[in-house]
């Protein structure tokens, strides 16, 4: 039986699954992974995701400078600016796919501050943010009618 797809996505990490979910509204997606959906390095990421979430104490320019300093000024500034300015939208997308970042008693993000950051800007899920993201994306992938997963396949 021949199956036809509009998109072929290789890999079941955060990049592959995020892309599959984004384009699934535009056509049928084949998601190919060499083992199973759970087997990706995303799962092992412990820390969190840095993003501007509170414009009262943080701003994009400050976050860009923090990132450039943390990268010893070796990072491509245009790439850093694009990532920093797009991060809030990507966070919203992850949340829409079921990712549950930790919140404080008031319902605000429980932000951490890590090396190189001048503000509390790290969203996290306990100490296993990668596992939370991976598990949430897997659930969203499995529920989506336009995504077919091919585990234990090579392309």
Specify the range with the lowest mean pLDDT, choosing from 19-33, 44-58, 83-97, 125-139: 44-58
Task: Give me 5's structure tokens.
Answer: 């797809």
Is the domain of 102 the same as that of 60?
A: yes
Is the domain of 117 the same as that of 60?
A: yes
Q: pLDDT for 71-125, tens place per residue?
A: 999 999 999 999 999 999 999 999 999 999 999 999 999 999 988 889 999 999 9
> What CATH number has the domain bearing residue 10?
3.50.50.60
Contacts of residue 117, Cβ cutoff 8 Å, sequence gap at least 6:
50, 63, 66, 70
Look up the domain containing 22 and give its range: 1-45+128-155
Backbone angles phi, psi at 132, to 5 degrees: -60, -45
Is the domain of 111 the same as that of 52?
A: yes
DSSP code, position 25: T
Q: Give which of 11, 6, 12 is closest to 146, Cα–Cα.
A: 6
Is the domain of 89 the same as that of 146?
A: no
HSE-CB of 76 using CA atoms within 13 angstroms: 4
Task: Give me 127's structure tokens.
Answer: 């100490």
**How crowded is residue 41: how many other Cβ atoms within 10 Å of its Cβ?**
11
Is the domain of 39 the same as that of 7?
A: yes
Total of domains in the chain: 2
Is the domain of 89 the same as that of 68?
A: yes
């Amino acid at each position: 039986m021949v199956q036809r797809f509009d998109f072929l996505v290789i890999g079941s990490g955060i990049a592959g699954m995020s892309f599959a979910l984004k384009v699934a509204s535009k056509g049928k997606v084949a998601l190919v992974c060499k083992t199973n959906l759970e087997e990706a390095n995303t799962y092992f990421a412990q820390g969190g995701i840095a993003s501007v979430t509170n414009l009262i104490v943080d701003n994009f320019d400050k976050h860009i400078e923090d990132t450039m300093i943390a990268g010893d000024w070796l990072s491509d500034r245009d790439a850093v600016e694009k990532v920093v300015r797009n991060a809030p939208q990507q966070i919203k997308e992850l949340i829409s796919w079921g990712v549950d970042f930790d919140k404080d008693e008031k319902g605000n993000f429980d932000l951490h501050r890590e090396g190189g950051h001048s503000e509390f800007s790290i969203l996290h899920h306990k100490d296993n943010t990668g596992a939370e993201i991976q598990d949430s994306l897997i659930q969203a992938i499995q529920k989506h009618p336009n995504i077919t997963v091919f585990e234990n396949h090579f392309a």
